[in-house]
Structure 1
C-alpha cells in the first residue's frame, strides 16, 4: 500500500494535537491533512475533506465529541472515526460505538500503542483500549439475548456482515466479492436498518458475541 491514509484531528488542546501530529509523522503510510480545535470546525472539515480517519476528542466545550460524531455520521461522511479521550465511563464508551465510532482509545495509553491502534483502524479493524473491552462486550451483549436481529438479512447481507465482523473495510469487501464500493455501502445501510443498529461496529460486535 503506497497510498497514505489521510487523518484529521479534532481536539481542543493544541499541545495534545501537536504531540499526536509528531507521533503520526513518524509513520510514512499516515498523513495528517487537517486539524480542528472544536466540534463545529471538525464537522465542517470532515464534510469538506472526508479523510480516511478522524481522531476525535470526546470532552470538548460547545459541541462535544459525541454530538460531533453523530453529526458527522448524519452528514453521510464515511471516514473511520476513533474517539481519543480521557473518559473510561461505560456510558461514553457504549454511546460512542452506538453512534458510529470505529475505535475508542484512552489518552493515557503508551504512544506506540496509540499509533498501532490507529494503523489497525486505517486497515478496517476496530480498536479499543484493552481495559475497556469487557465494558463494551457486556453492554452490547444484552440485546443479543432478546431476539435475532439478523433473521431478516439476505444471504449476501449476512455474508457482508460476517466480513465486517472480521474487520474488513468496504473496499476490501467490494474487491473480494467482485462488486462496487457503492454497492457494499448500500448493503451496509440495509443491514444496519434491518438490525436496528446505528453503526457497523455495533453490528460486528453483536455477531462476534453471538458466535461466542
Structure 2
C-alpha cells in the first residue's frame, strides 16, 4: 500500500484541531503526524516530523497564518501548504496565495469535501473552495488603474503612520513614537490601506518608497 500523506495541523483552537484530526484520520490516505497551537510551534515541529502537507489557520495569536506561510516557504521543507480558515475575504485569499499557499479552504466545508480537496492538493493541484473561485476571478479582472497613486486623501496622522511603516516600525513602536495606543495604530493602518487601495503594511511601505511625499509649504 502506498505511504500515507503525513499532515501537520496548525491552529490555535484545540477543539477545531480535534475535529479536523477526526475527519482526516478516517480517510486511509492521510496520517496526522502532529498538531501545533501557534505558527512558531508548527515551524519547530515540522523540522522534526517532515510532513507532506501543512494545514494552517490565518488568524492566530502571535505569528499569524500569512507570516507562518512565508517562513515555511523560506525553509527547505518539501510540503504542500493549505490555508484552512473562516475568512472568505478577497484580501485574505490573495495574500495567502502570494505568501505561497497551495490551497485555500473554509472551515465550514463538508468533511468529505475537505479530504477530497486535500487529496487533490497532494497531487500538485492548487485547491480553492468552490465559493471562492468567483472572488478570485473578480480580483484578477480588476483593472490595475484601480490602484490609487495619490496619498492626498490621507489625514496628517495617517501620513505620519505611513512614514513609520516605511521605516520598518511595528505597531508598538509606532504607538510609543506618536503617543497613541496600539489599537489606534491598527485602526489608522486599516484606514490608510483602504484609502491607498493596498492590502498589507508591506505594500504600504513599498508604496511610500516608490512615491515621493508631497512637499507641504509652511505658512
TM-score if structure 1 supplies the norm length? 0.64
User: What residue ranges of structure 2 are gaps of 5+ in the alignment?
Assistant: 145-219
Task: Answer yes or no: is the 8 Å Cα contact 1:50–1:77 preserved in 2.
Answer: yes
Structure 1 runs, 4 residues or longer, greater than 3 Å off:
140-144
* Cα-to-partner distance string for 1:104-131 (whole Å, 9 max, x where unaligned): 0000111111111111111221111111
Q: Aligned ranges for residues 22-101 of structure 1 at < 5 Å?
A: 22-101=22-101
Q: Which moved more, 1:18-27 or 1:45-54?
A: 45-54
User: What residue ranges of structure 1 are gaps of 5+ in the alignment?
Assistant: 145-212
Counterpart in the other structure of 1:112: 112
Name the larger-Rg structure: 2
TM-score if structure 2 supplies the norm length? 0.62
Counterpart in the other structure of 2:154: none
Distance 1:79 1:141, change over 3 A: farther
**SS class of match (1:47):** helix
Task: Answer yes or no: is the 8 Å Cα contact 1:7–1:34 preserved in 2.
Answer: yes
The separation in 2 between residues aligned to 1:90 and 1:40, in whole angstroms, is 26
Distance 1:143 1:124, change over 3 A: farther
Report the alpha carbon displacement of residue 46 of structure 1 after superposing the two structures with TM: 2.1
Instruction: Report how many residues are paired.
Output: 144
Report the alpha carbon displacement of residue 2 of structure 1 after superposing the two structures with TM: 1.3
Counterpart in the other structure of 1:15: 15
Task: Answer yes or no: is the 8 Å Cα contact 1:47–1:72 preserved in 2.
Answer: no
Q: RMSD in angstroms over aligned alpha carbons? A: 1.7
Report the alpha carbon displacement of residue 49 of structure 1 after superposing the two structures with TM: 2.6
Report the alpha carbon displacement of residue 7 of structure 1 after superposing the two structures with TM: 0.4
